[in-house]
Amino acid sequence: MKKNLIKILAAAGMAVLTMGALAGCGNSTAETTAAGTKAAETTAGTTQTTTAAAATTTAKATADLKGSISMVGSTSMEKLATALSEVFMEKYPGVTVQAEFVGSGAGIEAVTNGAADIGNASRNLKDEEKSKGIVENIVAIDGIAVVTDPSNKVENLTKDQLIAIYNGTTTSWKDLGGADQPIVVIGRESGSGTRSAFEELLKLEDKCKYSNELDSTGAVMAKVASTPGSIGYVSLDVLDKTVKTLKLENTDPTPENIKAGSYFLSRPFVMATKGDISKQNDNVKALFDYIHSDEGKELVKSVGLIPAN
C-alpha cells in the first residue's frame, strides 16, 4: 500500500513538472511572437518614416526651385524644347522656362554673351565656340530627312546624286528617273544648324546652289509641299504627309536606322552652356538632371529623336 502511494505521488510530481515545462514553453513562444510582432511594427514604422522623409525632401527640393531658365537657338529643336519646357514646368511650378527659336548660331551667341542660360544648336559646336568656354551638351540625336513635293515620282537618291543636286551639277529630275522637270533646290539660311550639319555631312560647305534660303524648318516644309519639283531638308521629327520623304542609299530616315548607323544624314541636338553643367545654377542643373533621367529619355523618344545616352 505504501509502495503504491509512493508511485502515485511520484507520478503526480512528474505531471506537475511536465505541466510546468509546457507552461514555460508556452510563455516563451508567446514572448517570441510578441517580440517579432513588435520588431515588424518597428520596421514598418521605420520604412514609413523613411518614405515620408524622402517625399518631404523631394517636395522641399521642388518647392525650393524658383526663377526662370532661358533657352535660345535652333528652330529644329523647337519640338523637343517645347515638350521639355512644358513637362519641366509641371514638375517645378516655381520655375518658368522661356524658349526662343532663332537658329543655332544665334543660340550659341546668346549663351556666349550671357543673354541665355542655354544655347540650343542642331549641330556640333565649332572649335572657336568651344574656345570661348561654351560646352557641348548633346541631349539627343536627330536625322535630317530629304523631302520633295508629294507628286515627285523619285523614291531614292544615292549620296552622290544628292550632292550633285545641291552643288548644281544635276538640275532636272529626268536625270534621276523622274519627270522632265527642273529641280528647285531649297535650303536653310546661313547660320542654321540644320544647314551647317547637312553641308558638313555632304562636304558641301559654301558650295550649295540654292533657289530659296528659308529661315525656319516650318518654312522649308511649307515651301517644298507647295512647289512642284522642289527638294529640301528638314529635321526628322517634323515630317508629315504634306511632303514626300526620300530614301537615301535605299534607307529610310528612321530612329532605328539612325541608331544603327545605316542612315548617313544624322546630327546631334546640343544644349550648350557657358561652362560645364556643374557650374550652372540649380534650375539649369535640374533641367539637365531631368532630360538625362529615364523619364527624360522617354520624352526625347516621344518627339521622334534618339536619346544621347
Rounded Cα–Cα distance for residues 187 and 224 (Å): 10
Instruction: Please report the pLDDT score of residue 260 as a whole number.
Output: 87
CA end-to-end distance (rounded Å), the chain: 97
Instruction: Please report the pLDDT score of residue 62 as a whole number.
Output: 63
Residue 100 pairs in a beta bridge with: 72
Which parts of the chain sit beneath pLDDT 50? 1-37, 39-44, 46-47, 49-58
Instruction: Please report the pLDDT score of residue 304 as a whole number.
Output: 86
Q: Helix, strand or coil for residue 211?
A: coil
Domains annotated on the chain, with CATH: 64-140+268-307 (3.40.190.10), 143-266 (3.40.190.10)
Q: Helix, strand or coil for residue 233?
A: strand
For residue range 217-239, list pLDDT tens digits in order: 999 999 999 999 999 999 988 99
Residue 46 has φ and ψ, to the nearest 5°, of: -65, -45
Q: Exposed, middle or buried: residue 278 (CB in 10 Å: 0-12, 13-18, 19+)?
A: exposed
Find how far residue 189's CA is from the centre of its chain: 26
Is residue 134 within 8 Å of 125, Cβ to Cβ?
yes
For residue range 181-207, list pLDDT tens digits in order: 999 999 999 989 999 999 999 999 999
Q: Which three cell numbers stand for residue 172?
A: 532636272
Instruction: Please report the pLDDT score of residue 61 as a whole number.
Output: 56
Closest CA to 247 of 167, 179, 177: 177
Is residue 224 within 8 Å of 246, Cβ to Cβ?
no
Instruction: Describe the crossing of helices 78-91 and 294-302 by its angle, rounded to 10 degrees.
Output: 140
Instruction: Please report the pLDDT score of residue 78 as a whole number.
Output: 94
The sign of the dihedral angle between the CA atoms of 194, 199, 205, 209 is negative
The radius of gyration computed from the CA coordinates of the chain, to the nearest angstrom, equals 34
Instruction: Please report the pLDDT score of residue 9 as a whole number.
Output: 35
Instruction: Describe the crossing of helices 193-201 and 104-112 by its angle, rounded to 10 degrees.
Output: 120
Rounded Cα–Cα distance for residues 80 and 286 (Å): 17
Q: Exposed, middle or buried: residue 25 (CB in 10 Å: 0-12, 13-18, 19+)?
A: exposed
Closest CA to 116 of 238, 287, 261, 239: 287
Q: Which residues contact 190 (CB under 8 A, 6 or more apart)?
A: 213
Strand 118-121 to strand 67-73: parallel, antiparallel, or no bridges (unpaired)?
parallel
Rounded Cα–Cα distance for residues 56 and 67 (Å): 21
Rounded Cα–Cα distance for residues 216 and 270 (Å): 18
For residue range 69-86, list pLDDT tens digits in order: 999 999 999 999 999 999
Find how far residue 147's CA is from the centre of its chain: 25
